[in-house]
Structure 1
Amino acid sequence: MKKLWKLLLPALLLLLIPFQSAEAASGNEVVDYSKKFIGVPYSFGGTSPSGFDCSGYLSYVYSHFGISLPRMSSQQATVGTTVSKAELQPGDMVFFADTYKAGVSHAGIYIGNNSFISATSSSGVKIDSMSNVYWSPKFAYGKRLSQVANGLFSDLPTSHPAYEAVELLNSKNIINGFDNGEFKPDGLVTRGQASAIVNRILKVSTSSTKSFPDVGTGSTFAKDIAAMKETGIIQGFPDGSFRPGDSLTRAQMAVILDRAFKTENKVGVTKASNVYLDVAPTSWAADAISALYYLDKTTMFKTDYFRAGFNATRAEFSAAVYNSKF
């Protein structure tokens, strides 16, 4: 019996140890690690820092983050989610076809700025441009691994023009993502949400949460909506309602942020300085809209058309708040 207990004890102890799932590596972490091997010579069949071939190099780099890949590049190309060249993010795998043989025959790691790193037969591990005259026509597709995270949110790559804005606002708890790890950049912003986001910056306190007949005093954004009403930043409709669940148009967004952060004063905007082809200088929101153009640090509003009547997305609102306040 004692002998049997000795055999069972290790297994029982393993069951008692809590399982810990590995956190996803960031794309930038993968890139930083991959660069440690620049200059390592090429070795056909090589899988170590003494010498790599292209697929051996990928296997070695990703294994550092607990990610197991098939041995051959043609097999590695079957793993993950396919992405186009325009969708590539740092840490994605990139595959090339018809190099020394037909079909997928070379693999690398996208490092950003239209560049990738790989183990080449001519120069060992090195960085090349995706626009290289040799590699560009041979690019097949990219592959994204679920174990590699890129940026704060799974659906907001670091290459997104609003990324820096979202990153800052998120760090200050002004705007947050969702429980599933997404930001939903194309989701729409409601009037209630806009009230909360603006008030998280202004921190206007009110003695009462009573504001509009369609906003319950115990509702999620009651205090923020009351603060916006008191300051005149977000007003109600002629029928006395606030409509907290209604989407916010881009024109309304511009005017609200001007009232909150005095954007027109920051750039000295006049109606004569209107910059968008679809916004008349006489428009009720012309000055506030023009201010967003001049304050823009994200490129989100450096366009010919503003689309004032379109509903504002979460990414657009984040960028506009960032430009207006920070």
Structure 2
Amino acid sequence: MQKWWVLIVAAFMFFSVTTVDTETAEASGQGVVSEAMKHQGTPYQWGGKTPSGFDCSGFVAYAFAQEGIDLPFGTANQVNEGSRVSRSNLQAGDIVFFSGTYRSGVSHNGIYIGNNQFVHTSASQGVTVSSMNNSYWAPKYHSARRVADSSSSEAVASTADVSSSSSDKATVVNANNLNVRSGPSLSNSRIDTISGGTTVDVEEEYNYWAKVSDGSTEGYVSLRFLDMDNDGSTSTANVSSVSSSGQQAEIINTSNVNVRSGGSMSDSVTGSISGGSTVEVQEEFNYWAKVSDGSTEGFVSLRFLDMK
């Protein structure tokens, strides 16, 4: 009898552990919010990454880590994670960013919880909930990113973000060697480099990243350093990819965005447009757009535009 009792207990423990592991592996926006809200009142600590004390990006990274999503530290790094979300489409668990708090550019972030509120770490109050509509935060709102799915409990930050399969050629247009990473995020480790001017095969695209190969090195690079061209030549903007636009967009870079004479990193810089400026999008060329703010006209990377 004792033997059967031991077997029953062992089976129960096995299925309990299996269930916990499965639930822990799932990541949802609401799960991130629930985790974040547990830490209200935790004191602010510059560079803090644990429940003994958080700064803003450390708090965001911790909450997402408990749901199985690894994020880099620092608002400047987190603002490039996942996919961009317009303010009108915010969902619980999205990361919201603010600029011009203690320095220019993106300088603060938190986790959206719904009803125009977000939970974040305040230097004066620690982890707290604030309204995005109040007089302090409203004019400082910058942008939002989605790295967890609020409805289906699936991570969105890495390979789930495949936008298309590809067999295109591209030229690396970075001035020096381009870092190749193990995954589509700045938080992934550098595994090699590819020299500027090298032609690579583009295997897949992930938001602002691409999986590429030059025959000896394979990994992920930022799309901003690739001049896409299906026939493998080194032309600038592919005219066949031009689409007329006419819509408006906001510059979301943390500082001034370089404006170039053509749709490629190899084209010369002809001016700059300040972050936060509203521009008219005249045409789109692959990952570039021809824009104008009324005084400056030229090409900027689409990664710096929040389309309205």
TM-score normalised by structure 2 residue count: 0.41
TM-score normalised by structure 1 residue count: 0.39
> Where is the helix percentage greater, Structure 1 or Structure 2?
1
